[in-house]
Amino acid sequence: MVIRVRHLTFNTFYGDKIYWFLGLILVLSGMLCIMFETQFVTGAFIGGIAEVLLSLIIMYRVRKTSMRASLVFLSFSFAV
């Protein structure tokens, strides 16, 4: 669980609340795996799947933002 808590500090570094959500999902999944005494592999797969899915969401959001910024730059350069 200590490894999963590191995502809670990423909000401070990157200023994006989605890292709080990712950290919450990972911590809760770790707690549930401990409570139900599942195998380590199960927790690893749950954590891996959560990280991959949320990384795809983060990449989509970054690309959408960078495309919007590049369009603003292009419109500014043509206006000058």
Interatomic CA distance for residues 20 and 26, integer angstroms: 10
Please count the structural domains in the chain.
Answer: 1
Average pLDDT over residues 19-40: 87
pLDDT recorded at residue 11:
63
List of residues 6+ apart from 56 with CB closer than 8 A: none
Domain span including residue 6:
2-79
The answer to pTM > 0.85 is no
pLDDT digits (tens, 9 = 90+) for 32-70: 999 999 998 998 899 899 989 988 998 888 888 776 665
- Please report the DSSP string for 37-67 in residue order: T--HHHHHHHHHHHHHHHHHHHHHHHHHHHH
